[in-house]
């Protein structure tokens, strides 16, 4: 297969983990006889500094020409600490999602046996936890009408029936591929938009009789995720709730540096780690590249190249078992490998695999 990949490294630790992601993808493509070419583009704070736009049109066109986007992270403290800034790195991320029509964010949460001790939850609660959160990505408050002055502000949480139906369909279809259990998360006891979500969810549940469908308020879901994470199989929810719940779920595994994601929809899909740009670690060679590497696996699997994805996951598991780990997940007294060294170990594992 021939791949054309757009690479958006972004800010902070983005360029470091992006390089590892590209190296791993090259190794897998060589192993399986695929051809891959890359086109690099700017985004986030880097793009603001260079052209004044966090997602310039040239970057958008690069994404549209590609089969997939390998994205890393955006964000910079100089914007975080300036509430008056009119242009922010994160606006580039929102623009990318909107322009590419990426309405479905797929975030798997899995645990690793040898890292259960790193989870803030008891091992018996998280051992075997494995669920996917599907977050609606282009609607709701993040994209609704906004207003702010010195005295008042508002954000509009707008959703239409077609927006809700298409994301719920993704949820039901994923549940069918897994354990046939879908949890639709809303706040229907308070919010009108959530009541529409629940109404449409009930209508669509009748079309998927093989899927056990339950409905849960977001506050209950956030507690249940901590108390009983193994309850969930597939979760689907709106943009704001999904943003919060996926960050919460990412901590269960023991490190945000372990979890990848995919954003899919109308145009080019985007594959990225769930963590942010961690600017404090920029250039220090300590960022965990595993989420970026596992994003490669999701990319191959998106194109139904299951063996390629499986090899990446095998290599990641092997690196963890061999204690080839960055500092935040290393065992006490273990060698602290850097971003680059973990990447090199995994590439070597792939190259030597039979």
Angle at alpha carbon of residue 71, lines to 22 and 277, rounded to 5°: 105
Half-sphere exposure of residue 99: CA atoms within 13 angstroms, side-chain side? 16
SS3 263: strand
Instruction: Round to whole Å and give the CA distance between 158 and 142.
Output: 9
Instruction: Round to whole Å and give the CA distance between 267 and 331.
Output: 42
Asked if 134 and 198 touch (Cβ cutoff 8 Å), the reply is: no
Orientation angle between helical segments 89-99 and 57-65, nearest 10 degrees? 40
Residue-level pLDDT, tens digit, the chain, 354 residues: 899 999 999 999 999 999 999 999 999 999 999 999 999 999 999 999 999 999 999 999 999 999 999 999 998 888 877 777 788 888 998 899 999 999 999 999 988 888 888 888 998 999 999 999 999 999 999 888 999 989 999 999 999 999 999 999 999 999 999 999 999 999 999 999 999 999 999 999 999 999 999 999 999 999 999 999 999 999 999 999 999 999 888 889 887 788 899 999 999 999 999 888 999 999 999 999 999 999 999 999 999 999 999 999 999 999 999 999 998 888 888 888 999 999 999 999 999 997
Instruction: Round to whole Å and give the CA distance between 125 and 129.
Output: 8
pTM above 0.75, yes or no: yes
Same fold, 1-103+265-354 and 108-258: yes
Whose tokens are 């046939």? That residue is 180
Domain ranges of the chain: 1-103+265-354, 108-258
Half-sphere exposure of residue 7: CA atoms within 13 angstroms, side-chain side? 20
Query: What Cα–Cα distance (Å) separates residue 21 from each residue in 6, 46, 193, 312, 337?
Result: 12, 19, 39, 11, 17
- Catalytic annotation, residues: 142, 187, 219, 243, 247
DSSP 336: B
The domain 108-258 is placed in CATH, from the list 3.40.47.10, 2.40.50.100, 3.40.710.10, 3.40.718.10, at: 3.40.718.10
| CATH superfamily name and code, 1-103+265-354 | Isopropylmalate Dehydrogenase (3.40.718.10)
């Amino acid at each position: 297969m021939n791949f054309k990949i757009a690479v958006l490294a972004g800010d902070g630790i983005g360029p470091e983990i992006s390089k590892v992601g590209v190296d791993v993808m090259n190794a897998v493509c060589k192993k399986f006889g695929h051809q891959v070419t890359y086109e690099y583009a700017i985004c986030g704070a880097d793009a603001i500094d260079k052209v004044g736009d966090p997602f310039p049109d040239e970057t958008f066109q690069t994404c549209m020409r590609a089969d997939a986007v390998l994205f890393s992270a955006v964000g910079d403290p100089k914007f975080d600490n300036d509430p008056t800034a009119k242009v922010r790195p994160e606006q580039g991320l929102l623009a990318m999602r909107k322009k590419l029509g990426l309405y479905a964010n797929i975030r798997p949460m899995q645990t690793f046996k040898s890292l259960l001790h790193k989870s803030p939850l008891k091992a018996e609660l998280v051992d075997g936890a494995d669920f996917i959160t599907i977050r609606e990505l282009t609607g709701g408050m993040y994209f609704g009408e906004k207003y702010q002055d010195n005295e008042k502000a508002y954000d509009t949480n707008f959703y239409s029936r077609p927006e809700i139906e298409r994301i719920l369909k993704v949820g039901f279809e994923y549940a069918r591929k897994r354990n046939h259990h879908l949890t639709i998360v809303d706040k229907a006891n308070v919010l009108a938009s959530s009541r529409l979500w629940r109404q449409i969810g009930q209508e669509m549940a009748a079309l998927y009789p093989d899927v056990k469908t339950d409905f849960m308020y977001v506050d209950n879901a956030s507690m249940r995720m901590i108390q009983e994470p193994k309850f969930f199989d597939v979760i689907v929810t709106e943009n704001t709730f999904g943003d919060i719940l996926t960050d919460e779920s990412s901590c269960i595994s023991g490190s945000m540096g372990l979890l990848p994601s995919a954003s899919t929809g109308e145009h080019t899909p985007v594959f990225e780690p769930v963590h942010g740009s961690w600017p404090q670690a920029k250039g220090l060679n300590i960022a965990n590249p595993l989420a970026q590497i596992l994003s490669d696996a999701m990319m191959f699997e998106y194109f139904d190249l299951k063996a390629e994805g499986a090899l990446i996951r095998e290599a990641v598991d092997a690196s963890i078992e061999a204690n080839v780990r960055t500092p935040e997940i290393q065992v006490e007294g273990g060698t602290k490998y850097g971003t680059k060294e973990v990447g090199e170990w995994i590439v070597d594992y792939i190259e030597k695999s039979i």
